[in-house]
Amino acid sequence: MDLVLHGVADWPRDRMAVIGSSLGGFYATCVAQATGCPAVVLNPAVHPARDLARHIGEHAAWHDPHQRFFFAPGFVDELRALEPGPLAQPSRILAVIAKGDEVLDWREMVARYPGAQLRLLEGGDHALSGFEAQMDEVLGFLQLSR
């Protein structure tokens, strides 16, 4: 997170925004809290320290099972230290949440973003298959156009 915040330190706050999915949604929330910029979070992880604690150890990379990595206990501590607390500016966050997310509990996601703009999707999945249907709302929230 220090590297991310250092990387965006010179970005113009009035024109920047962040988007993140799953654990990236957690990080996007952290960046939005630190900078005041708008954020779009897609099926965001809301308790990554709790959820990832059971995955300590060696794993295969999902995109290449021949690549291995080690998820260390200290990473859980780092995630816990990053938890951003109550939203400072909830209206500057759009949360797109699928009730059919097979990885994260949609009720926890909704509860994490009180006062934020919510797009609660019936069904769906963690990957937000069919995300294209959400693009107009996401771009509108960020004041962008296609």
Going from N- to C-terminal start, the domains of the chain cover 2-49+87-141
Alpha-carbon gap, residue 12 to 19, rounded angstroms:
16
- Read off the pLDDT of residues 66-89 as tens digits, 9 standing for 90 and up: 999 999 999 999 999 999 899 999
Q: Which strand ranges, in their side-by-side order, compose the sheet holding 117-121? A: 18-21, 39-42, 93-98, 117-121
Alpha-carbon gap, residue 145 to 40, rounded angstroms:
15
In contact, 129 and 57? CB cutoff 8 Å: no
pLDDT score at 145: 74
CATH of region 2-49+87-141: 3.40.50.1820
- Read off the pLDDT of residues 100-144 as tens digits, 9 standing for 90 and up: 999 999 999 999 999 999 999 999 999 999 999 999 999 999 998
pTM: 0.92
Cα-trace Rg, the chain: 16
